[in-house]
Structures are given as C-alpha cells and as structure tokens.
Structure 1
Amino acid sequence: MLVWVAFALVILLGLLFRFSYFFHDVQHVLAKFKIRRCMLKYMQTNYTILERFVEAVRTQPDRPFMLFKDAAFTYQDADALSNKAARVFLRSGRVKEGDTVAMLVGNEPMFVWLWLGLVKIGCSAAFLNYNIRSKSLLHCFNCSGANTLVAAAELQGAVEEVLSSLLEQQVSVYILADGCKTAGVESFRDKMSQASSEPLSKDLRSHLTLQSPAAYIYTSGTTGLPKAAVITHSKLWAISSLQFLTGVNSKDVIYISLPLYHTVGFFGVTGAIERGITVVLRSKFSVSQFWDDCRKYNVTVIQYIGETMRYLCNTPKKLSDRSHKVRLAIGNGIRADVWRDFISRFGNVEIREFYGATEGNFALLNYIGKIGAIGRDTFLLRKFSPYAVIKYNVEKGEPVRDSSGLCIEADKGEPGLLVSEISVRTPFSGYARDLQQTEKKKLHNVFRRGDVYFNTGDLLRIDKDNFIYFQDRVGDTFRWKGENVATTEVADIITLAGCVKEATVYGVKVPGQEGRAGMAAVTLRDGLKFDSEDVFKHVENFLPVYARPRFMRIQSSLDVTGTFKHMKVKLVEEGFNPNLITDPLYFLDEKEKNYIPLTLDIFNGVNSGEIKI
C-alpha cells in the first residue's frame, strides 16, 4: 500500500513539475463553471445586475456605494436617487418599456443613477462618448434607436450644435442642470428634485429577460464611425464577473478613473455591485492625483488600461510611491516593460491583465500573472469556450484556408487570428440597427461546414508554454519586404529610445513598392529634442531591417480615443507628404546611419524611385 502511495506521489510531483500551472488552470476553469451555473440560474429567474443591486440595498443600505470628490453615497442613497431619475422618465410620457435613452454624460454619479433608473422601468441606455461632436454625435444617437437624450450641463454646447436635427426627429432633450432657457431643452435635475424617491413596482420591468439589452456601448471607431455594441443583461453579468475571477472581495474599494461610457469603466461599477463593494469614481484620469486619491479613499483595487499605467510610470519618483493600500490592478493593454517598471516602483501589486472586445463573445484572463501575457491556452478552456488562433494572410487580409476551404490553426509561436465559436453558450449579440456590420464580424466554415465563429480582428501568439500574447490588430499589421510588421511591437521598442515619449506606428504606401513602408509618429519627452542619431541606433539594434520605420513624424501630441487607443486613419492618409504635413518629418538614411530631415527633394526622390528604400 505504501508503495502505491509513494508511486502516486511521484506521479503527482512529476505532473506538477511538467505542468507547473495545472492547478491554476483547473482552478480558473472551475471558477468559470461556477459563474456559468449562476448564469443558468439567473436566466430562469431573470435575475439581473439591477436585482443584485436591490438586494444590496436591502442587506447593506448604509454601506458606501460611491465616493465622488467630497460626496459619499450609500447603497440606499443610490437607490433613492435612481428611483427619482426613473420617475422623471416615466412622467415624460416619451419613455416606455423597452425604449432606449441616449446618455451624453461624463464620469459622475448621475451616470449611474440614470442607468439604474432606466433599468428599473425596463429600459436601456446608449452610452455616448462625450468627446464626439456634430455628425458623429448624430450618427451615434441615431444608431441607438433612442428618442430621448440626456446630457451633462457642461455638454450643452455640443447638444445645441445638433439640436435642430434632434428636434426635427421629435427627440426629447434634457440637460442635467437646475434650469435651462434653451428652447426645446428641459432641465432634468429640476424635475428630479420634485420626484418621489419611493421604490418602483417590479412590474415595470417584468418583461425583461437576460437577453434584453441593458446598454449600448460604442466601439472606439478607430477605423470608421463608431458602432453600438449590444450589451445584454446576460453579457453584463459575464463582464461583471471579472472582479470575482480576479479575486476582488467584499472588503475591497475600487478606483475608477476610466470613462464609464466604455466597457472597461462601466464594468468596474457593475462588478462592484456584484461584489457589493465601494466605488471611488473620478471624473477624469489624473496622473498627478492618482495615488493621492488612492491614499485618501483607502483604495485596494484599481482599474487600468496600458496607457494609464505608462503615464504613472513616467511621473517623477517620490518617496511616497509605495505608500498606498492597492493590492490588485485589473485592466488590459499594459506593455511588458511598463508592467515590470510598475511593480518595481509601486510595490507588489498583483496585475490581472485581461483580453476582450466590447462586442465579443469570448475573453481571456492572465490569472497566473505572467508578465506580458493576456491569458493561457488550455484544453480545459477550449472545451469551456471553443476558440482558436488560425493562420492569417496579412497581405490578402483574410484567413488561410486549406484545399477543402477550412481554416488552419497557427503553429506555436506563429501570430494568427483569434476566433471564438458562436453558439447558445457563447452568443454574439452584434451591433444595434446594423446587420451588415454584425455579419462582417462572423467567420463561416472555420473548422467544419456550417460552423460560425466571431472574428476578433486581433492577431495573437501562443508560446511553447501555452501563454497567449497580443500581437496586433489585423488592420494595423502591414507587410513590407515580404515580412509582416506588428505595429504594436515596433511602437513598444521605439518608446524605449531616450527622447521618445509616445509612438504610434503604421504603414504608408510608396509608389512602385509592394506592401507598405513603416512610419512612426512620435512625441518627445519634456524638454528633449529629437535625437535622430540615437533613435537610429536604437531601431538598428532592436529591430530587423524590414521593421525599422522608414519615416518619422514628430508631433506635439497623438490623437487617441477615450480609452487611449491611437487613431491612425488620418496619419495613414497623410503619409509622409511634406506638402500636407507641417510637423517635422525625418527619413531613415542607412548610408548616413541617421534619421535626416525629409525634404521635398527626398520626398520626390522616394516617389520617383530614384531614392531606394
């Protein structure tokens, strides 16, 4: 008997040595199974995030729910204020069950009261990006199908730009101000102050199911006009469960400085409701106030996107850098070098990097904490949520298929397109009022005839240890000299050059050349000039010849979306043409071993083919 026990222990130790992450992998999938079991139960009873909120109001009415500036709102306060907001909509006569209300509101508690109030009366909200204006604003409003708009007082000017068009469509327009003298615009706060805070009948939302839309959240629109992704109550549960998966507990306080109109910011609030914890909300990310806020409010969990972490690491070092209670950071897009800098400087903060798209039906989580990775590829996870990384032809912009017309899985270490199966268990809700764009995201006949997969549009790579790494967007990756160039990798390397603060990389057309030549738009560190020789040496040392940007554009700032994704469309259109660009331009001169100023003569020489690149 002892021999068999010893033998079993040897086998177990051997498995642990060979598969050192096995128990972590099993634990993660078991946690996902637990969430799925809860979801099935919730579907039977139509138990939404709102119902969880109402439950929290009953069980912990006096617990702080939201801290904003110097104001504190308990769960009971939030319930009362959202009841008031709901009654304003009901009394308007324009908002009825199943309707959508568009919200043009920044990060403030009212954003949450409005959404909670709308769900209480069986409606949904479209979260408009408060940075958009004019035609883009009208486009986003119209594709939501809303007939009512609520806007923050400071955004009244943006509303008045499109007010005539809204009124022509008989849209009800409200401003979050105590009063309003603009014709066609009503004060929401005034009406709210007069409304009752008494609980509303649950019958008002009796028609809701977990398949009903809870919100519409817009994609960033980096490659065109934004699209309104449908976030059902079921999907809202799924994204809210991320806090459970990352280890957020009932004693935590979470800090949110990311826009609530985007998924990453909004699930911070709904995840906090699921956990029953306190949210510290900031109107806008502030690199100078970030750690002061964390100390002031005893924050234990922070949310991030890659750029916010980089901004924090770029601040001057202080003696108080490790003086905080933050133990966990949840987010996506952090570079490996920034990850190392962050934990080295700010202490042993657990970073839980995740991957997912607003409209996607699949997500990854780096539950191990492997620096640079976005998740792990395991047999168990594939069984739970079928996905694959398939071979992709960057030049043709399509998956590689075999002789029978089916897709081929990418080899280990080879970048490929991430796709995830669309099924009853992993549905894809698509975009509001846009069947064409919804269909474009579907990939048919992937591994068998008749199957359908969600096309993430992202290139990922799985290493020999089964860790998954983000490579690039398929539209960003370009081909030059017969090689695929991943723009994010090149940008990461360029930002390590001494004088460079930020960089975005893209491909530009050159007459007579196949593919696209690399170009980088960069900003410089404060007080520094463009050190062309140093940058040349840097790219020469760290990048293969085909990946080195042939052109450099020096800018004072880089245009970004609300979640700090670089916007490249205009940059690509302008190319390296000094007739269109007033920013300083440089050309990679291999003979001079330098980036030299790009003159009109050089521009014409490159275009005519006299100057070889």
Structure 2
Amino acid sequence: MVPVPAAAAAAGALAGAAYLNARFSLAHDLLFFRIFGSALFGLFRAGRAGRLNVFYVLEAQARGDKATAAKPFVLFEGRAVTYAEAYDTVLRYGAWLRERRGVRAGDVVALDYQNSETFVFLWFALWAIGAKPAFINHHLQGTALAHCLRESTARLALVDPRVAESVSDEVRRELSGMEFAVFTPELEAEAQRQEPVRYPDAERTEKEPTDMAMLIYTSGTTGMPKPAVISWAKVYMAANMSAKGTGSTPSDVFYTCMPLYHSAGSCLAVCSALFLRATAAIGRRFSTKTFWKEVRETKSTVIQYVGETCRYLTVAPPEIDPVTGENLDKKHCVRAAMGNGLRPDVWDRFKERFGIDTIYEIYAATEGAAGLWNPSRNSFAKGAIGRFGLVSGALSSLRTTLVEVDNETELPWRDPKTGFCKRAKTGEAGEFIVGLPADDIKKRFQGYYGNTEATNAKIMRDVFKKGDAWFRSGDVLRWDSDGRVYFHDRIGDTFRWKSENVSTAEVAQVLGLHPAVQEANVYGVQLPHHDGRAGCVAIVLDTPQANARVLASLASHAREKLPRYAVPLFVRLVKEVGAQTTGTNKQQKHVLRQQGVDPSKAEDDALFWLKGGTYVPFRLTDWKALEQGAVKL
C-alpha cells in the first residue's frame, strides 16, 4: 500500500507536470524534436551510406522482413499492391525506361499523370535508375502545358492515356525535340515483361541531401507555373512531419485523393506511408461523392485535405445507407485529418460532423524553406497553422520571424535611416521570412529549376544586418503570445479601401460563419473614379437563388462582425462550390479580380451591392453610373 504522503506527492508531481505542459506546451516541444530529430538522423544515416535516394527506402521495406514485404504499400480502386510487388514493378519499369527509352542517371523525365498506382511505379522507377521526375499538372493544356514541359528540360514525357488528348498537335510542334510516350495498356504490358533489373548503386549516387530529387510546379495562380527543386532533404522532412506529427504507426492507412503531382499528395502522404512501412490509399481525384466511400473501403485511419477540401465535404449532403437508412458520416476508421488550408470557420463543423479526433494542420509551400504544424484536439489552437512550445518557439525564432509590411509597396517595410526591416510585434501581422546561409543559399533554398531570376526574387538581403539573407514566403501571418501562428493573408490578396487594409482571409472567415454561406471567396476590385479596391465576395449560398431575407441577413452579419471598411460592398452569387479553385482545392482570385463587378463580364452570375443596409441587385445601369462618376461609394 502506497503511503498517503507518497501518493500525495505523486499526485502533486503529476498535477505540476500537467500545468507546466499546458503553460509551456512541452508536449509540442517533444513533438518538434521527434520530427526534426528523426528526419536529421535519417538523412545523416542515408548520406553516410550513400543512399539518399528514397528508392532505397522502398527497397528496404520490400526486401526486409517478410511481414512488411507482404503488406499493402498502395491501395487503388480495389487493387492492393504489396511492398514486394511494388518493388518488382518498379525494377521492371526502370529497366524498360533505361533499355527501351534510353533514360540515364541524372536525366529529367516529365510525368503527366492522374493519380494511380502506375503514377507511383513510374515515379519510383525513375528514382531506381537515378533519373529525376518532373511532376506535371495533368489538368494543363496548350501554352501552359508546353511551358511546363519546356521548363523541365526533359526530352521524354510519360503520359497517362486518360489525359493524352491534352498533348495536342500544337504542344507537340512547340516541343519538337521531346518524345511523348503515352503509357497505353500495350506499353504498360511491354514494361511489365521487362526483366526486373536492379542497377548498381553508382547509378543512384547523390552527393548531398540538398541534391534534386524531383521537380514540382507552383500552382501558377499569379503567372505561369514554375518548377521548384525538391531536394532529398525536403522529402525526408515532409514525410517525417506527417508521419511523426500524426503519431502514425505501420498499421495506419493514409488516404489521399489530392493530386500526386503536388508535394502534399506525393511527399506528405505516399512518402509518409513508405517511411513508416504503412499503407497509402490513393483516390484518382477528389469528389465529395467518392471521398468517404473510398475511405471506408480502404479502412483508412488518416485522411489528407488541401485548401477547401473540408469545406466541400462539410456542405455536401450526408450519405445514407440505402438498406438501413443510417447516416454514414461517422462510419469510418479515421482518427486524424492532416493537410493545409482548413479555415477556422469550417474547423469545428468538419470535426463534429465526421467525428474527427485530431486535426493536423501543416503550413508549407512547394518551394518554401521552412514549415509549421499544429496538432489540435481541442479549441486551444483551433484555426492555427502552426504552434510552438517554449523551447521550440525559441529555437524557431532564430531562423524564422515575421516582419512588418509596407502596405503601399507590398514589400517588407524598411527603416528610412538604417534600411533594415522591422520585426512584427507579438500578436501583430507580418510577412513570414526564413533565414538562409548568406554564403550558400542552396543549403536551405534550392529555388526554381533553371530560373535564377525567379529564385533571386524570393531572397531578401540586408534584412536585419548587412550581408544576411532571408527567404520571402509572401504570406502574412500572426504569432501570438501562446505560441500559436495564424494565417492572415497572402500578399497581393490584402487590399486597401478607405485608407485601411482589408484581409481577404479574415473577411472570408467571418462570412463563412453565416449559416447560409457554403463558400466565400473574398477579393478587392477596382472601381471607376475610386481609389483603392472595394471588397467583393464570390459566394455560394445553401439556396439556388438569393432571396431578400438571406441578403439582408448576410449584410447584417457582415456589418455586425466586421469593421465598416471591411464589409464587402459587392456580392457575386456563384452557383457551385469549388468553381474557382486549383487542382489542389485552393481558391483562385485572379480571374474574379480581372472581371471585377462589370455585369457584362460576370458570366451568368448575379451581382449585388450594399445599399440601404442590405444587398440589392447590381445591374448594368448601376455600373454605367459608376463609370460616369455619378455614384460615390
């Protein structure tokens, strides 16, 4: 029997430990060190053995213990492929690429493919022979597709038969020196018949963790997509962020229907499963009609989201069992959702509707030099894109910080006397920047492939002292006194109206809390005879048409929750969610901004403007009055 004083002392110690953990987020510090420690140790060990190429991780899982070799690595549309089978196929495809297509170590090969197990096999087959894949967005056509293929410098493009039509005669003419191999069933069978050859390690020699593993393109929302160099170090770090951060084990199944041509699907999902000896369940594409069906069929335990994915799932009608009439929203094995872009106004609704225990929000960019993460099970860090404990926060502040932004130039503000930038105060918004080794930038930022100008544009010099170098994220964040980091806005999305700065993200969050709003995409539009940009929101309501009651309620909600200058003056009623999004479900604004509020450019969407305390139809005659200067807002 434990003496009472000893029991009391133990209880006191536990209570004290719980207090310290809550006060200083010590558990988060431990997670920070687990993620970084595991990634750095793995990189060190792989580098020392000359095995930085992630092909060796697949080989270790397939040729290690029999249990791992026999377990599923990839699940896709009812087919399960074990680690051993995947390895065998990768060797066959690699031999086919080398012997039949002349691909050699160091070559870049474009991969224009939809999500599938074949995508994964071709990707790893290129690594198996020391080549580098360039992941092409399979939605691209015409000039944009030709641009991405040209920028890759590839002389061979492997094309999914399902998207072969996008490789038009025009694209082929523009790229006359490139060979296009549409991987038809016949060609796939030919590759399968190839003997599985494991080429010597010398073919896969990588000197540094910063060497290029693959090319992944930016989204291209502000211009043509740019090929970002993804290093082996970044693959290791991304895989560890999602694997260790979600507390996953080999028994977990990671489900993703996010595009594998993006780092979220490829590095954070597939590579995480690989490093863990777990299973990657892949959906061909995102659809609210198939998402939960595939999650249930594959018994997935961790699901991935990007951008507005969770919003679209939350506003979709529930799936009802046709036999029992049971609501299937919570009939799944999911314990965690990981990804980036989950809006605060959707956070709780998504968790509660689908019974998700933990949200693992990640902040990162394809070309970014650092990432943030926030594992959240309660309301403390709801909506945060990152979170730090006492120790991890102190360490992170040595190489990451927020700086004040000049609202006129949309650049970090510089002191007129010293020329240096100024750190944003705790709780204030500022651009997120990351310190780089001034004499060797590529140690932390590999930049854009073959594009020195675009690479240099992301680097700032002489920020806090002469000669230093920092990576510009282009994102405005806010870091509070509790170590939580929140997304404020993307530079270029924030606009000025009535001499005030308006954050599109904050306005969208507020409008998203209105019960009738399913999606809100906020942006600023230029108006004739007015300075700055007026607020406009492209909105999807839960009714096909906006009636006077809903519009009045929306106006009242906006005026009650937002400063007067931030209340959108215009509403554009969009018919369906996701109408203006990228392939990764991220909202696009540039087309909406260009169209503005000229009714003749609004396609079939209805426009409204704030008048008399409510939103009323905005017609061509009203636009003409603005053009003539007869109306002042």
- TM-score, with length taken from structure 2: 0.89
Cα contact 2:89–2:121 (8 A) shared by 1:
yes
SS at 2:519 equivalent: strand
Query: Structure 1 residues 14 and 24 mapped into 2: Cα distance closer, same or farther (>3 Å)?
Result: closer
Q: Does 2:427 correspond to 1:406?
A: no
Q: What is the aligned counterpart of 1:517 among 525, 534, 548?
A: 534
Following the alignment from structure 1 to structure 2, what is the Cα–Cα distance between the partners of residues 18 and 350?
18
- Report the 3-state secondary structure (helix = DSSP H, G, I; strand = E; otherwise coil) of the residue aligned with 2:308: helix
Measured after TM superposition, the shift of residue 14 of structure 1 is: 9.3
CA distance in 1, matches of 2:514, 2:40: 46
**Cα offset for 1:525?**
2.7
Contact kept, 8 Å, 2:427 with 2:478, in 1: the verdict is yes
Question: Which of residues 464, 472, 480 is equivalent to 1:447?
Answer: 464
Q: Deviations 1:55-79 (Å, cap 9, x if unpaired)?
A: 0001222111111112111111111
Shift in CA distance, 484/124, structure 1 to aligned 2, threshold 3 Å = same
Shift of 1:161: 3.8
Aligned partner (choices 45, 51, 58) of residue 53 of structure 1: 58
After TM superposition, the structure 1 stretch with the greater mean CA deviation from structure 2, 137-146 or 237-246, is: 237-246
Deviations 1:230-285 (A, max 9, x none): 00112111111111232111111111111100111011111111111111111012
- Counterpart Cα distance in 1 of 2:545 and 2:622: 26
Q: Deviations over 1:365-406 (max 9, x none)?
A: 113542111112455345256100111122321111223111
Aligned to 1:216: 215
Native 8 Å contact 1:399 1:417 kept in 2: yes
Partner of 2:632: 612
Mapping for residues 453-602 of structure 1, pairs under 5 Å: 453-525=470-542, 527-530=544-547, 531-557=550-576, 558-590=579-611, 592-602=612-622
State the alpha-carbon separation in 1 of the partners of residues 101 and 74 from structure 2: 30
> Aligned match of 1:374 in 385, 388, 400?
385
In the other structure, the counterpart of 2:324 is none
Q: Is the 8 A contact 1:128 1:218 kept in 2?
A: yes
Structure 2: gaps spanning 5 or more residues: 321-326
| Offset at residue 212 of structure 1 (A) | 2.4
Which of residues 89, 95, 109 in structure 2 aligns to 1:101? 109
Distance 1:18 1:56, change over 3 A: closer
Q: What pairs with 1:146-161 in structure 2 (closer than 5 Å)?
A: 146-161=154-169
Distance 1:71 1:611, change over 3 A: same
Aligned counterparts of 2:523 and 2:13: Cα–Cα separation in 1 = 53
Alignment partners' CA distance in 2, 1:167 and 1:480:
46
The CA distance in 2 between the partners of 1:367 and 1:567, in whole Å, is 27
**2:565 is aligned with what amino acid?**
Y
Cα distance per residue 1:320-372 (max 9 Å; x no partner)? 32222111111111122322112222224211111011101100011354211
1:145-169 CA-to-partner distances (Å, cap 9, x unmatched) read 1110010111121113445325622
Q: Offset of 1:10 from its aligned partner? A: 8.8
> CA, structure 1 residues 208+109, in 2 after alignment: closer, same or farther (shift >3 Å)?
farther
Deviations 1:170-198 (A, max 9, x none): x121011134xxxxxxxx31431331124
**8 Å Cα contact 2:51/2:206 also seen in 1:** no
Partner Cα separation in structure 2 for residue 593 and residue 559 of structure 1: 28
Check the 8 A contact 1:121/1:205 in 2, yes or no.
yes
Deviation at 1:106, TM superposition (A): 0.4
Q: Is the 8 A contact 1:46 1:209 kept in 2?
A: no
SS in 2 for 1:366: strand
**Greater shift in the superposed pair: 455-464 or 132-141:** 455-464
Query: How many Å separate the matches in 2 of 1:18 and 1:133?
Result: 52
Q: Say which SS state the counterpart of residue 16 (structure 1) adopts.
A: helix
Bigger shift: residues 602-611 or 452-461: 602-611
1:108 partner amino acid: S
Query: 2:403 — aligned with what?
Result: 390
3-state SS of paired residue (2:601): coil
1:33 is aligned with what amino acid? Answer: G
Letter in 2 for 1:380: S
Change (3 A) 1:166 1:58: farther
SS in 1 for 2:599: coil
Partner in structure 1 of residue 436 of structure 2:
422
Asked if structure 1 preserves the Cα contact closer than 8 Å seen for 2:74 and 2:280, the reply is yes
Q: In structure 1, what is the Cα distance between the partners aligned to 2:423 and 2:433?
A: 10
Secondary structure class of the residue paired with 2:144: helix
CA RMSD of aligned residues (A): 2.6
